[in-house]
C-alpha cells in the first residue's frame, strides 16, 4: 500500500523539493529547463504538495495552489491542481487517482469551495474518473507576468471538482493571476 503524504509548502525540505523536481523533469520533458530549477509553474507556488515516496524518490506528485478566483463575478476559493505526474514506470496502478483524491480531501479540510485544473483533452477521462467535471463553454481569463489579461494557453481544458460549492456558477472565470 503506497503512503500518500501531504506537505505544506512551509514544511517542504530542500531534499523533497529536489526530489519533486527530479520527477517533474522526467514527466514533463518539454519543460526540463524550468523544472530543473523551479516548481512554481507560471510563478504560482503551491500551498501544499501531495506525493508518494519510494525510498528517496517521488513516484507520484501534485501541487495545490490556493487562489480566490471569480466565476461570473462570484468569489470562489479554489484548490488549483498543478504539475500532476507519476513516474513512467509507476503508471497504471492508480497513483494519479490516489494523489488527486488526497488533494481534494485536504482542500475540503481547508474549507475551499472547489477544485480547478487545466488539462489536455486526452486527460479529461482520467480526471472524470476521479469525479472532476468539465468547466468548458465559458471564457477563462488569466493575468500573465506582464499584468496583461490573456485567455488560457491553447489546448488547456478547465475542469472543476465540487467541495463546499456543489454547483459551479455560470459565467466567465477570472483567475486573478496567472494560470497554474
Ligand atoms: C496522467 C498521469 C499522471 C496518470 O498517472 P497514472 O498513475 O497512470 O494514473 P492512474 O493509474 O491513476 O490511472 C487513471 C486512469 O487514467 C488512464 N490514463 C493514464 N494516463 C493516461 C493518458 N495519458 N491518456 C489517457 N488515459 C490515461 C489510466 O489508463 C487509468 O485508467 P483505468 O482506471 O481505466 O485503468 C501520468 O500518465 C503522467 O504523469 N503523465 C505525464 C504528465 C502529465 O501529463 N500530467 C498531467 C498534467 S494535467
Residue 176: φ, ψ to 5° = 60, 25
Closest by CA to 75, choosing from 141, 173, 158, is: 173
180 is a domain residue: no
Residue 96, in any domain of the structure: yes
- What is the percent of the chain with per-residue pLDDT over 70, rounded to a whole number? 100
Q: Is 93's C-beta closer than 6 angstroms to any atom of ligand 1?
A: yes
Q: How many angstroms is it from 73 CA to the middle of ligand 1?
A: 33
CATH no. for residue 141? 3.40.630.30
Structural domain includes residue 139: yes
Ligand 1 centre from 62 Cα, in Å? 13
Cβ–ligand 1 contact at 95 (below 6 Å): yes
Contact of 161 with 114, CB cutoff 8 Å: yes
Range of the domain at 117: 4-174
Question: What pLDDT score was predicted for residue 36?
Answer: 98
* pLDDT band of 105, cuts 50, 70, 90: very high
Mean pLDDT, residues 66-93: 98
Domain count, the chain: 1
Give the mean pLDDT of 159-178.
98
Please choose from 123, 128, 153 the residue to mutate so as to test ligand 1's pocket, defined by most ligand atoms within 8 A of CB. Answer: 123
Rounded to whole angstroms, the Cα distance separating 136 from 114 reads: 15
Residue 25 CB less than 6 A away from ligand 1: no
Is the residue at 129 inside a domain? Answer: yes
How many angstroms is it from 80 CA to the middle of ligand 1?
A: 18
Quote the CA–CA distance of 155 and 169 in Å, as a whole number: 23
pLDDT in the model for residue 169 = 96
Q: Is the predicted pLDDT of residue 54 greater than 90, yes or no?
A: yes
> For position 39, what pLDDT does the model report?
98
User: Nearest residue CA, atom 28 of ligand 1?
Assistant: 92
- Ligand 1 center from residue 147 Cα (angstroms): 34
- The answer to whether residue 110 is domain-embedded is yes
With vertex at residue 65, the alpha carbon angle to CA 60 and CA 71, rounded to the nearest 5 degrees, is: 125
Q: Is 80 exceeded by the pLDDT of residue 2? A: yes
pLDDT at 1: 77
Tell whether 124 is covered by a domain. yes
pLDDT band at 64 (very low <50, low <70, confident <90, very high): very high
Give a yes or no: residue 179 inside a domain.
no
Mean pLDDT of the chain: 97
> pLDDT tens across 26-35, in order?
999 999 999 9
Atom of ligand 1 nearest to the CA of 85: 39
Residue 155 CB–ligand 1 contact under 6 Å: no
Q: What is the pLDDT of residues 122-164, one digit of tens each?
A: 999 999 999 999 999 999 999 999 999 999 999 999 999 999 9
Amino acid at each position: 500500500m503506497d503512503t500518500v503524504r501531504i506537505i505544506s509548502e512551509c514544511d517542504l525540505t530542500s531534499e523533497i523539493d529536489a526530489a519533486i523536481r527530479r520527477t517533474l523533469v522526467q514527466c514533463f520533458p518539454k519543460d526540463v529547463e524550468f523544472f530543473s530549477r523551479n516548481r512554481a509553474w507560471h510563478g504560482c507556488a503551491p500551498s501544499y504538495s501531495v506525493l508518494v515516496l519510494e525510498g528517496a524518490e517521488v513516484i507520484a506528485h501534485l501541487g495545490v495552489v490556493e487562489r480566490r478566483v471569480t466565476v461570473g463575478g462570484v468569489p470562489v476559493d479554489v484548490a488549483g491542481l498543478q504539475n500532476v505526474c507519476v513516474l513512467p514506470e509507476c503508471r497504471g496502478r492508480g497513483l494519479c487517482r490516489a494523489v488527486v483524491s488526497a488533494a481534494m480531501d485536504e482542500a475540503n479540510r481547508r474549507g475551499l469551495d472547489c477544485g480547478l485544473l487545466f488539462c489536455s483533452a486526452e486527460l479529461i477521462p482520467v480526471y472524470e474518473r476521479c469525479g472532476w467535471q468539465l468547466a468548458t463553454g465559458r471564457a477563462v481569463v488569466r493575468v500573465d507576468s506582464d499584468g496583461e489579461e490573456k485567455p488560457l494557453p491553447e489546448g488547456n481544458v478547465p475542469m472543476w471538482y465540487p467541495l463546499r460549492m456543489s454547483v459551479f456558477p455560470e459565467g466567465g472565470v477570472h483567475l486573478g493571476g496567472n494560470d497554474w
